[in-house]
Chains A and B, each alone.
Chain A
Amino acid sequence: MSFTKQTVTSARMGESYEIYRHSSGLTLNLYPMEGFSTAYAMLGTKYGSVDSIYQIGDGPVRRNPEGIAHYLEHKMFENEEGDAFARYAATGASANAFTSFDRTAYLFACGDHFKESLEILLDFVSRPYFTKETVQKEQGIIGQEIKMYDDDPGWRVMFNLLEALYHENTVRNDIAGTVESISHITPELLYECYESFYNPHNMVLTVAGSFEVQTVLDLVEAYYHKEYPVVDIRRFVPDEPRAPKTAYVEQVLPVSVPMFQIGFKGLSLGETGNLMAQPADEIILEMIAGDCSPLYRRLYDEGLINSTFGTEVMCGRDYISLFFSGESEDPRKVYEEIQKEFTRFCEEEIDRELFEICKRGVYGRYLTLFTRPDNIANVLMLCHFYGVEPYALVDSLAALTTDDLKQRVRQCYDPAYSALSVVKGGEES
């Protein structure tokens, strides 16, 4: 078994990291950081809530219950000998895991005992163990997790928006599924998903902070001792119309001021294209409604938005949307104003001075991503799965021009393709 090594350097930051490709199929992104006390390691698979429909090679199309990737994440922590948390207890590492739309990651942060902690991580993620009893037991715990999110107005307002924006795309499904959907999950289904998606070719190990590179290489050699065949995962590509499913969606929950989230549905350029476009999209958002924009000022002074107002780009394999969210007594009015401003932005010349200011703001935000071990490990994993080199992303941001921005909005956005989601207190209307 062997590694091929590639060093990636950023002249801008005066930093570098290393990519190792192991003959097992696993990729490693290692980012040692001088002066730090902790290390942060993540082992992830490109498998999230959007991957509930797929084919392996020419095999049958599988339609799994919503929430299965997240359920699998919970169950990976348990095997014959017990609970992975109990094993981490002996090393002092702070361990966790998460499932997002398009990935599942197992992670730990530690000061001492890096080697022992990494050993646990590599070991438990490579040994699935599911029985009827252990799978059954988790229904109560995840059921309570789902209910917790059902009561979270910020979570609801976002998923209601995704349901409004998308007709077919599985990004509209809640990551944890529903109490009903998870009741169909069996050990057999979990094994099948594990075999399909927890293949080293579909995975990456990222480590940042204080650690020895050689320790990681030695352990990967020890735990991945064969060349795994590539699994031909064919993910469901939805036939998604450009227009949203509905323009308005509303839910009643206990909130003081109505919460809103507005989404502009973009044209997806695939995962690499979408991520590479994210800095430009963030500048667009800043220019349309960031806190130095004329619109922000007007809405703030009219009492239509408050300091909770914010913007965000959400992108993945086959979706990209621009979000504006916050609290308002009159979300429809805010939506109308943002739509008007978005239209104006698409049609008129770009304000060069505002562009330069917003570009610097976004540039500072991207550099700040490289300041903490946890952030770096996350960025490396995301970029690996999206086929993007993180330093190149920052460099492309520094080189952006107003013409690039103009082209971007014209090509991928249309203010008509948008929707408004509202969560408000009181009686359902």
Chain B
Amino acid sequence: MGNKLLREQIALGAYFSSVRDGKFKNNRITAHMILPLRREDATQNALLPFLMRKGSADCPDFTALNRRLTGLYGATLEADVGKFCNSQVMELSIIGLDDRFALEREEVVRQCAQLLAGVLFRPHFVEGSFPAADVELEKNYLKNTIEGEINDKRSYAMLRALDTMNEGQPNALRKYGYIEDLDRITPAACREAYDRMIAGAQFEIFFTGSGDPAPAKEIFAEALASLVRRPVEIPAYEPQLTAGTVKEVTEEMVLSQSKLVLGFRLGRLETQAQQNAMRMMAAIFGGTPFSKLFLNVREKHSLCYYCAARYDRALSLMLVDSGLSAENKDQAVQEILRQLEEMKAGRFTDEELESTKMALATGLRSTTDSLGAMETWYMNQILRGCAVSPEEDWQALRRVTAEEIVEAAAGVTLDTVYLLKGKEA
């Protein structure tokens, strides 16, 4: 299943990783800057990738930068912010066509790496900081993004359920920050945040594609070598193991369909083997179109179009979510919990076990057929402190036994029942 991950340190707290595979037609380079997620600087950190995306000292004009990208066969430069447990991850990535397909044999990969390193390490500063007009614009757009979390109702409901479950912990903080912070963010504050990120973030530069990663590694190593680095420690995440009294939260919105989310605590899952057993448990329970939730909540009782369970390995919790009519909520909760009891009692067949394993194997195999999926896979590995390939993961997963799954299910307790209830306009 695909080619090997190569990872090496290129500066203090900075690593360059690559997975090369000649079957692709593109190359993708992503710079991840990882900092502790903290209430006091989450918002200004979140602004940084978007400010950097506007230009660099080499190419200060936003439109000129976009023209260079489009002229490079539609290379895309993307800025975003991610979250992993207690860390905030600022991301800049560039995806471009491989040199083999350039109409005039241009060195697309090298130019892409230079562009990315340019926006990251040589920002376009006016009077010592990002241009004031850009800061104002990007603050406004970040406000749109923060407010936009209500647009997708399914993910909004899951976000609200997680808020309820993890209230007061760093990982419950918003990756894009807070609207009330935006007013007092000045260009000077952005410059300070930028300097803190460049000095203190853990850097993970990731290269996937068919091209040669060497020029990109060189370019990033050289840029990092001239910096004074003081990488900041990320506080470890300690999951709550068992639920207390079930938290019931209902919020209302003008909607045709209500969204139900059940949040579960999972007990102590320390070893890879225990975590793999939990992956299997969640998948048999509600991870496939032949899972217990799909066959019962959807097919048997026709309560919904979707009802799925998702195990969040990093946060060590499980969410079950479904879109339904509010009057069917109690019946759905009852049915979901009844199916969980089936799992705890070990009432699943060898066939269900084997089929679910095969479904997971297909997912793992397809990981290696997509650049984006490969990067996501290995970045999650790196953030968890390991480097298991999809193939090695499959070898471990296939050994999970029914007994281990029942043992994993035994630790599952219901923490939160969240309902985003539809009301008439």
Contact = CB atoms under 8 A, between A and B. Distances in A.
Interface in A209-258: 209, 252-257
Given A36-B369, A360-B70, A147 B323 contact: yes
B70 A286 contact: yes
Interface stretch (A199-207, A270-278, A297-305, A384-392): A297-305
Given A36-B369, A371-B26, A92 B361 contact: yes
A92 B2 contact: no
Interface string B85-100: 0000000000011000
Interface string A363-382: 11101101111000000000
A362 B151 contact: no
Contacts of B145: 306
Interface in B287-316: 288-290, 294, 298-299, 302-306
B168 interface: no
A90 B355 contact: yes
Nearest to B141: A306
Contacts of A358: 70
Contacts of B364: 111
Contact of A292 (B70, B73, B299, B362): B70
B23 A35 contact: yes
Nearest to A363: B73
A37 B1 contact: yes
A303 B366 CA distance: 40
A383 to B, nearest CB: 18
A429 interface: no
Q: How large is the interface on B (under 10, 10 to 19, 20 to 34, 35 or more residues)?
A: 35 or more
A291 B151 CA distance: 24
Interface in A140-198: 140-142, 144-145, 147-148, 150-154
Given A144-B323, A290-B70, A361-B70, A151 B256 contact: yes
A408 to B, nearest CB: 20
Nearest to A252: B425
Residue picked from B324, B359, B368, most chain A C-beta under 10 Å: B359
B344 interface: no
B150 interface: yes
A140 B323 CA distance: 12
A111 B355 contact: no
Given A150-B257, A306-B144, A144 B305 contact: yes
Contacts of B359: 89, 92, 94
B365 A38 contact: yes
B147 interface: yes
A363 B71 CA distance: 10
A242 B129 CA distance: 52
B361 A364 contact: no
B254 interface: yes
B363 interface: yes
A141 B305 contact: yes
A255 B153 CA distance: 10
Nearest to A357: B71
A419 interface: no
Given A144-B325, A257-B148, A361-B71, 16 more contacts: A13-B101, A92-B359, A139-B302, A144-B324, A150-B257, A151-B255, A154-B151, A253-B254, A293-B63, A301-B133, A357-B67, A357-B70, A361-B69, A361-B73, A365-B74, A372-B370
